[in-house]
Chains A and B, each alone.
Chain A
Amino acid sequence: MDVKSPTSETAPNSTLTLEERLHRLVAEGLLPANEATFAAVLDAARQYGEACQSQTAVRLSFALESGQLGTWTWDRATNMLDLDERAAEIFYVKPHTPIDRSALRDLIVAPEHRSLTADGLQQSLETGSLYKAEYRVLRPANFQPPPNANLDAPPFRWISTSGIPTFKPGTREITGMIGTIQDTTLRKQHEETIRQTEKLAATGRLAATIAHEINNPLEAVTNLIYLCKTDPEIPPLAQRLLEMADSELARVSQIAQQTLGFYRDTTRPIEIDLNVLLEAVVDLFARKLFSKKISCSLDLAPNLRIFGLQGEVRQVFSNLLVNAIDATSSGAIRIRGRHRTCRDCKGVSIIISDSGSGIPVHVRQKLFAPFFTTKESVGTGLGLWVTRGIVEKQGGSIGFRTRTEHPSGTCFRVFLPAESSETNVLSTPQTQVLQ
């Protein structure tokens, strides 16, 4: 090594290589012009540099670990993505096995988000700016989960990814990207829960307002019609008309209570004769059944008695019957009631079955969720949610079986304990999807 190698006397230190800087130190007389010393200093400096580099790498890996971030690099020329282990896991693919970016997008990105990711990338490539996207990826059908995978995980993930373009040295030409990726499913779920809670609270306020606005006039009109129709001087024809007005008004009251779904029975639990209650519920919907030409048969064992809140129990069977009627275009609805013992708890099992088209697979899991409806503009999405709430409050359980192939149909089974709910609340989850 030529320790006297000349360097530009004027160049600033920061633009020089390590060796050039050592030469300058020798030239300035600050370092002895000795080859062994020169080599030793150079070696120490290199080691120090490497140590610094390795410290940065360690820090980076801890930072990635704490942020649960995966990393990826993308080569523009080949369109190949290289993923580290976490990124690969999040993307449902093998780590460090380069994969074509477009192929990966087609494989896992949810259809509704494909254009979002493509457009975001294009914009970043055009402007050289940061690429950022949040989207959903779907688990491929042939995906083999790793041995430690959570089997209850949903078949999709929300992910957040960001990247910066890499340039060809000394030019503005983008050659690829380096970025991070994060699984944001949990955060999304929390956001969704908050949104649902807010919706629920808003609906609660709305229901309270509507209840206030319509229940008072309903009460007044009901009273006025009653006074008219019970007046002994009223002609028989007018009396019949008033009877009809009275029964129509009873429907309005029933609908108000049912669609708002916020009627909470606070009277004390009493013994309820389900034989009488179920007949009354079917009677209430006789007109609807008749207009849709649906027959409804009751097959009830004698003496089906439970202890509970009558108004709420009526609401449960009204909701289930309304659903059965809505699901059936023509045919029959069967209601069967039997004495049953469930987990050493004596009670009554009521099955309401329809011959509708059955519940599609993607609907089944969400059936009892609030605001989930398949009835578009006419459904509140609260019927089954309220129903389940009431059944569980009574200490009972609700489940369903459904079949979409011929002969199709759905049956809901409600089990209600014979005794009071306070002494009989089951500790395990009460809602079962039977199929």
Chain B
Amino acid sequence: MDQFLLSSPSHKPLPSAPFAESKDPHAAKPAPRILVVDDEALIADTIVQILSRNGFIAEAAYGGQEAVERARIHCPDLVLSDVLMPHIDGVEAAIQIRGLCPDTRIVLFSGQAATVEILARAQKRGHTFELLPKPIHPTQLIKHLRE
């Protein structure tokens, strides 16, 4: 989504230090580093912006494979991933990331009924993931991620 101009481009590398100027009460702790994964770039980019404004250090990935590659380089504290994506879907990526980064919290979000079946398959392989509905209001998303 090149035409979509965001004030803070999501492609920039992760800042090396937490936002010192943030007024967020949680800023006292090191800001959680979140990898936001969605094949719809507009959704990934807007969530990255929202989270960045609320005391997280967020970065976008636009597919499952890309998410796994990012995690391989540097484990985030949290991965927020869409489920149904082409090539490697969110559940498959989540399972791979969990193998690479056992301490990373993984939250999936999806607007599809079929997601439940996909999660059931993951469960058979011994993996359970948190799942949030899509659409989710940003305030609820932030609240959930801070829990």
Contacts and interface: CB of A to CB of B under 8 A. Distances in A.
B134 interface: yes
A435 to B, nearest CB: 35
Contact of B50 (A212, A216, A223, A257): A223
A253 B46 contact: no
B40 A311 contact: no
Contacts of A262: 113
Interface in B76-98: 84
Interface stretch (A91-99, A203-211, A333-341): A203-211
B2 interface: no
A38 interface: no
A262 B136 CA distance: 16
B99 interface: no
Given A208-B114, A211-B113, A222 B40 contact: no
Given A211-B111, A216-B40, A264-B113, A226 B134 contact: no
Task: Decide if the interface of chain A is mainly helix, strand, loop or mixed.
Answer: helix
A378 interface: no
B14 interface: no
A223 B43 contact: yes
A322 B53 CA distance: 37
B53 A218 contact: no
B135 A207 contact: no
A231 to B, nearest CB: 9
A94 B18 CA distance: 90
A216 B113 contact: no
Interface residues of B, number: 26
A306 B28 CA distance: 35
A219 interface: yes
Contacts of A266: 115-116, 119, 131
B30 interface: no
A208 B136 CA distance: 17
B49 interface: yes
B9 interface: no
A257 B116 CA distance: 15
A98 B49 CA distance: 85
Contacts of B119: 266
Interface residues of A, number: 26
B11 interface: no
A226 B50 contact: yes
Interface string B29-46: 000000000001011001
B102 interface: no
B124 interface: no
A267 interface: yes
A267 B84 CA distance: 18
B138 A207 contact: no
A432 interface: no
A215 B46 contact: no
A315 B45 CA distance: 30
A227 B113 contact: no
Interface string A301-314: 00000000001000
Interface string B95-121: 000000000000000011111100100
A211 B111 CA distance: 6
B67 interface: no
A25 interface: no
Contacts of A223: 43, 46-47, 49-50, 138
Interface string B129-141: 0111111111100
B60 to A, nearest CB: 12
Interface in A174-212: 204, 207-208, 211-212
Contacts of B84: 212
Contact of A227 (B46, B115, B116): B46
Nearest to A207: B113
A348 B24 CA distance: 39
Interface string A261-274: 01110110000000
B49 A227 contact: yes
Contact of B111 (A216, A227, A311): A216
Contacts of A218: 111, 134-135
A224 interface: yes
A216 B131 contact: no
A212 B112 contact: yes
Interface in A278-314: 311
Contacts of B116: 264, 266
A118 interface: no
B113 A220 contact: no
A382 to B, nearest CB: 13
A263 B138 contact: no
Contacts of B115: 266
22 contacts: A207-B113, A211-B112, A214-B111, A215-B134, A216-B134, A218-B111, A218-B134, A219-B111, A219-B134, A223-B47, A223-B49, A223-B138, A226-B46, A226-B139, A230-B53, A253-B135, A262-B113, A263-B113, A263-B133, A264-B116, A267-B130, A267-B131
Given A218-B135, A263-B113, A267-B132, 4 more contacts: A207-B113, A226-B139, A227-B53, A263-B133
Nearest 8 pairs between A and B by C-beta?
A215-B111, A223-B46, A219-B135, A218-B135, A226-B138, A262-B113, A220-B42, A208-B113
